Amino acid sequence: MKTIITLIFLITSVMTFGQKFDSSYNLVIDYNDGERAEKEFSGRWVVKDSLLCQMYGKDTLEYKISKIQGRNVFHINGFEETVKFTFNANGDVVRINLDRPKQYLIYRYR
């Protein structure tokens, strides 16, 4: 029994090793059906417990997390649509509404 519990903790720690759920940005790239628009906008994405927080200035938006899978964080919005936030290794956060995959936002620090 101790071996199984130890193995579970080992697998859990290996799976979460290197995950970064804290990313700052100062540029937002908006893709809308192939059209690209860039806006300078600063903020930060952070995962705290079961919330995904977008902090900008003195304000914070909180999104309830429905699932975390690898570097992907999922949220179900008020319209029952699933929104996927991908925390990339380079620091970018990509926000995609899975019901409208050709419209997405990239939050980048340059």
**What confidence tens digit (pLDDT) does each residue in 68-94 have?**
998 999 999 999 999 999 999 888 999
Whole-prediction pTM value? 0.79
Q: Do 75 and 67 meet the contact criterion of CB atoms below 8 Å apart?
A: no
Percent of the residues in the chain that have a pLDDT greater than 90, as a whole number: 67
User: What does the pLDDT average to over 55-73?
Assistant: 92
Three-state SS at 43: strand
Three-state SS at 12: helix
pLDDT band for 4, please (50, 70, 90 cuts). confident
**Six-digit token string for 105:** 């936002």
